[in-house]
């Protein structure tokens, strides 16, 4: 009896070790060789114009036939297939497919996306680009990626589809309407035991930089679930957390007087259990606000009065800051208050705060924040301060004036959403030194380094050469930050805007359909050359 059970245990463990007990589920496996499209069909509708999705025996990668997608008139037209009727948070799907085209441009971008429906069927579907990639004309190209289902409890079904990067209908050119073929498509739901795992046997990022500053990252509620691989990365490499969205007003106070702390608290609770420090982003911003905020309570078609909006602002700041007093150390009190053209952002550039309250809302926000938590670090945060010397000077003047008026501002946050080429290290250094000359600290609040140098740069594949260039940039910038910290110019944390590339806000923004790779870890939770450039540069071949 005893021997028997040991034997069973032995089988179990060998199965486990050699990967034989994995229970992958093949969800889609279409080779188009049995005379059927295997569930693939067009995305378009009869009203909007229907693309043709059909079998083609004259073009194929293997077997007897492939699937041809023709007669396309919109970028988003392509083949679609149901992935699941039951979206389960954390499920990982491995996706592989072959794609081919033979007309038009020498290279063409394609995008693999998912569409999610919700239990509340009146809610609009959500679309998400999983990966964008280039295919060479006349060459069957494999696209391979993974997709992890998010933790949204309201979602229902998920579909997958292939398309070209989104463009408004009136901008569509013949290159966006090309016919393409697909073959050998395989989507597999991975057994939980073989989902990609965070790489943990590597140096610790935060430890290495601890002599100079703490290192933080922006997180989502999904990522702070202990079962998420990202949570493992967070615990190992970061000592500061900020919420990517969960601390914004639309999330905290969706309706007047109704505060929803749950999403923000999930992040704070995780951080407190794992010994993190916290930033808050952001108390006042011109976007991601609830609709009621700028409306009269009694009549939503009327704009709120100046008095009432001032009260709402003060109550909001103080409710948040009193709740987290002694727990959140550093607040973006105002975000992006400067114009991209001249002076402060006004109503013309989307600031209803400025439109209704005038410029003094900024001073007031800082004063009210100071009342609520006198020990918190109060930050004014903005973007493009390094690259745009006009904006940089406006920030200098604004903070100089605030200090002269006795407004309690402790630090200037530079977001640093930059790219592999610009701005130069010297431009960033000059910005930090200029701001520090005001007697405030400078904090890097949202660092990421895009692989794209402009909004017009076409989709490119993430090559080793590109990753090396990015690693070099991270290395050079952190060397300069170390020097600035030694001069006493920097705050004691540097915050990166996200952890793994597949969740970066740069996917699908500012260019729709274009995915980016601006962070230190890739979509499989593995360290990138950029990570090694910060912890052990000698490991990256070709780094200067
Ligand atoms: C971004 C979030 O990361 C996205 O998830 C969201 O869809 C839009 O906002 N500057 C900021 C941040 O100050 O609030 C923005 O965060 C990124 C740019």
Q: What is the DSSP string of 387-423?
A: T-HHHHHHHHHHHHHHHHTT----EEEE--EEESS-S
360 catalytically annotated? no
Residues touching ligand 1 (Cβ under 6 Å) are 244-245, 335, 415, 446, 505
* Catalytic residue, candidates 184, 222, 223, 382: 382
Q: Which residues lie closer than 8 Å to 325 by C-beta, 6 or more apart?
A: 372, 373, 375, 376
Q: Tell me the HSE value of 259 on the side-chain side, using a 13 A CA sphere.
A: 12
Q: How far apart are the first and last CA of the chain?
A: 64
Residue 163: the pLDDT is 97
Q: Are 540 and 532 in contact (CB under 8 A)?
A: yes
Residues of the chain predicted below pLDDT 50:
1-4, 7-8, 10-16
Region for residue 335 given its phi and psi (left: phi exceeds 0; alpha: psi -120 to 50; beta: otherwise): beta
Pocket test for ligand 1, best of 505, 518, 519 (most atoms within 8 A of CB): 505
How far does Cα 12 stand from its chain's mean position? 40
Residue whose CA is closest, atom 7 of ligand 1? 505
CA–centroid distance, residue 245 to ligand 1 (Å) = 7
Q: Are 243 and 283 in contact (CB under 8 A)?
A: no
User: Rounded to an integer, what distance in angstroms lies between the CA atom of residue 279 and that of residue 218?
Assistant: 9
Residue 21: the pLDDT is 67
Instruction: Name the nearest CA neighbour of 101 among 174, 160, 194.
Output: 174
CA angle, residues 380, 333, 297, in degrees to nearest 5: 135
CA–centroid distance, residue 487 to ligand 1 (Å) = 30
336 catalytically annotated? yes
CA–centroid distance, residue 65 to ligand 1 (Å) = 44
For residue 498, give the ligand 1 atom closest to its CA. Answer: 3
CA–centroid distance, residue 176 to ligand 1 (Å) = 29
Residue 52 forms beta bridges with which residues? Answer: 70
């Amino acid at each position: 009896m005893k021997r028997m059970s040991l034997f069973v245990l032995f089988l179990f463990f060998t199965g486990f070790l050699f990967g034989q007990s994995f229970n992958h589920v093949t969800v889609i496996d279409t080779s188009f060789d049995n005379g059927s499209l295997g569930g693939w069909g067009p995305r378009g509708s009869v009203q909007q114009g229907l693309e043709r999705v059909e079998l083609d025996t004259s073009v194929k990668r293997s077997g007897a036939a492939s699937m041809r997608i023709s007669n396309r008139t919109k970028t988003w037209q392509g083949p679609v297939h149901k992935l699941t009727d039951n979206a389960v948070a954390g499920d990982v799907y491995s996706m592989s497919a072959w794609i081919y085209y033979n007309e038009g441009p020498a290279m063409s971008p394609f995008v693999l996306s998912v569409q999610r429906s919700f239990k509340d069927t009146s809610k609009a579907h959500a679309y998400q680009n999983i990966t964008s990639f280039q295919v060479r004309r006349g060459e069957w190209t494999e696209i391979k990626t993974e997709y992890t289902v998010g933790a949204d409890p309201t979602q229902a079904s998920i579909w997958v589809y292939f398309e070209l990067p989104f463009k408004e209908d009136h901008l569509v050119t013949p290159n966006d309407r090309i016919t393409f073929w697909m073959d050998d498509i395989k989507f597999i739901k991975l057994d939980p035991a073989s989902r990609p795992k965070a790489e943990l046997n590597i140096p610790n990022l935060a430890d290495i930089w601890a002599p100079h500053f703490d290192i933080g990252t922006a997180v989502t509620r999904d990522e702070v679930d202990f079962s998420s691989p990202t949570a493992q990365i967070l615990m190992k490499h970061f000592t500061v957390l900020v919420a990517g969205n969960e601390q914004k007003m639309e999330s905290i106070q969706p309706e007047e007087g109704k505060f929803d702390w749950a999403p923000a608290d999930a992040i704070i609770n995780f951080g407190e259990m794992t010994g993190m420090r916290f930033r808050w982003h952001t108390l006042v911003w011109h976007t991601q606000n609830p609709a009621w905020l700028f409306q009269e309570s009694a009549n939503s078609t009327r704009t709120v009065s100046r008095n009432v909006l001032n009260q709402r602002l003060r109550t909001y700041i103080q409710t948040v800051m009193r709740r987290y007093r002694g727990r959140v150390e550093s607040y973006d009190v105002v975000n992006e208050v400067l114009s991209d053209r001249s002076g402060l952002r006004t109503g013309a550039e989307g600031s209803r705060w400025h439109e209704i309250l005038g410029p003094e809302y900024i001073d007031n926000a800082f004063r009210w924040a100071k009342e609520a938590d006198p020990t918190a670090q109060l930050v004014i945060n903005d973007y493009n301060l390094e690259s745009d010397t006009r904006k940089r000077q406006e920030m200098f003047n604004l903070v100089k004036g605030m200090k002269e008026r006795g407004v309690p501002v402790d630090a200037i946050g530079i977001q640093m959403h930059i790219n592999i080429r610009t701005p130069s290290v010297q431009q960033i250094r000059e910005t930090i030194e200029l701001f520090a000359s005001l007697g405030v600290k400078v904090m890097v609040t949202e660092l990421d380094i895009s692989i794209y140098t402009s909004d017009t740069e076409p989709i490119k594949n993430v090559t080793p050469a590109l990753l090396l260039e990015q690693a070099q940039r991270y290395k050079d910038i952190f060397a300069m930050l170390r020097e600035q910290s030694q001069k006493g110019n920097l705050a004691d944390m540097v915050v990166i805007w996200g952890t793994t590339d597949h969740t970066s806000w740069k996917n699908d923004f500012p260019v729709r359909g274009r995915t980016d790779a601006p962070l230190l870890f890739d979509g499989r939770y593995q360290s990138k050359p950029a990570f090694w450039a910060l912890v052990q540069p000698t490991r990256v071949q070709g780094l200067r």
